[in-house]
Structures are given as C-alpha cells and as structure tokens.
C-alpha cells in the first residue's frame, strides 16, 4: 500500500455533514473529476448530479436527491480534488502514455459489457472510495475485468493489461498489483487459456476460436 504526496484523506466529519448516501457523494466526485481530467469546460455540479444519478439508478437502494446542498458539494469537491491530484501524478510518471477514460470491459455470454474507470499504458486503474482496505471483493472484480478482456484478446489480438492500480481517493491509498501474480494467488490454474476456458464454460460459450 502506498500514498500520494500532498493528498489528504477526506475528513470523516465532512462526509457526515452531507445527508447524501456515501455512494452518491463519491459518484458525484467521480463525475466532477472525470470532467476535469478530460480537459475543456468543467461540468457544473448540476451536470455532475445528472451523471451521478444515472449511474446510481442501477442500484435498487439508491436515493436520488433533487438538489445538492453546500455540504454535499464541499465533500464531493474534496474527493474529486484528491482523485485529480492522484491521476495527475500518475500521468506525470508516464509522460508518453495516454490516459484512457472508461476503458471497455467486453461482455461474454450472459455477462454484459461495461466500462472500467481509467487505464494508462498497460495498467488498468480502478477507483474505490471505501473506508476499509482493499479486499477480496475488489480483487475479484478486477480479475473478472481482466479475464473478460483476455477472452477478447484471444479472438482479435487486442492489448491486455499487465497490472491493476487500485486507488482510494477517500483515504489516499493506492495498491499496484501484477495480474499474473493475482491470477496465481486466486486460482489453482496457472495457464491463462485454461482460466478463459473455465470462464466460457460457466457462461455457456465454448472456446472454439483460439
């Protein structure tokens, strides 16, 4: 686990002042940070609320606010600033690499396609605004992303990520993990093709186009 210089964790008391669900607070911060990292005009908070509300509606227990209070904006802005600072440091460390927004996570069988948070060079970047340390559920998620991407790579020779960088702007925490090391830790199968075959068997697809 590592931290970024000049970045401070989001104070708990600031989070507690907002009446929003924590998931909505940090969805707002993501929308704001994504807007600024793309360059150009920065999205207004009303625009960020529209984006965050659309994403949160995928969750059955989401509570969508009609408007944002100053305390909501304050904490979301703090978290967004942390993420922007972290991403700028990452980009500075890789000056010749392009930051990819919302990298495609291919679908497979009954698993729908989706998008990750960011990618740069051969590193997938996944953002987690969590109170705890990174855990098994986070690793399972990014492993599934990698397997879905690798299944597509077998068929059309697209690029594959070698590492994943987990970032937590809420706590100023980061963890860089090599996917091959993660695969060996998570499965008795060491061969990538075998893992993809197993995944295809689960989702009802045969690996007949290797």
Q: Which of 109, 144, 108, 110 is nearest to 124 (CA)?
A: 144
- pLDDT per residue over 159-182, tens digit each? 889 999 999 999 999 999 999 888
Do 87 and 103 lie in a common domain?
no
Dihedral (CA of 177, 125, 190, 144) sign: positive
- Identify whether 208 is part of a domain: no
- Identify whether 131 is part of a domain: yes
Of 187 and 178, more confident: 178
Domain total in the chain: 2
Do 51 and 116 lie in a common domain?
no
pLDDT of residue 210: 40
Do 122 and 137 lie in a common domain?
yes
Determine which of 7-11, 24-28, 69-73, 157-161 has the lowest per-residue pLDDT on average.
Answer: 157-161
How many whole angstroms separate alpha carbon 124 and alpha carbon 56? 23
- Identify whether 4 is part of a domain: no
Domain hosting residue 57, numbered range: 12-93
- Identify whether 19 is part of a domain: yes
Show which of 54, 72, 93 is a domain's final residue. Answer: 93
Do 66 and 88 lie in a common domain?
yes
- pLDDT per residue over 91-121, tens digit each? 999 999 999 999 999 988 888 899 999 999 9
């Amino acid at each position: 686990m590592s931290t970024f210089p000049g970045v401070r964790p989001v104070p708990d008391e600031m989070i507690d002042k907002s009446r929003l669900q924590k998931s909505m607070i940090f969805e707002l911060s993501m929308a704001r940070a994504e807007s600024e990292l793309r360059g150009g005009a920065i999205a207004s908070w009303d625009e960020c609320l529209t984006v965050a509300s659309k994403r949160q509606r995928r969750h059955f227990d989401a509570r969508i606010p009609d408007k944002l209070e100053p305390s909501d904006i304050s904490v979301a802005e703090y978290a967004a600033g942390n993420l922007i600072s972290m991403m700028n440091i990452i980009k500075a460390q890789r000056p010749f690499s392009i930051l990819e927004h919302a990298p495609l996570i291919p679908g497979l069988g009954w698993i729908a396609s989706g998008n990750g948070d960011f990618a740069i060079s051969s590193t997938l970047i996944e953002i987690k605004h969590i109170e705890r340390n990174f855990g098994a559920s986070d690793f399972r998620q990014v492993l599934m992303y990698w397997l879905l991407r690798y299944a597509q790579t077998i068929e059309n020779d697209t690029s594959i990520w070698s590492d994943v960088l987990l970032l937590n702007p809420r706590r100023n925490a980061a963890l860089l993990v090599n996917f091959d090391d993660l695969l060996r830790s998570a499965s008795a199968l060491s061969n990538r093709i075998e893992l993809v075959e197993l995944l295809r068997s689960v989702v009802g697809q045969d690996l007949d186009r290797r």
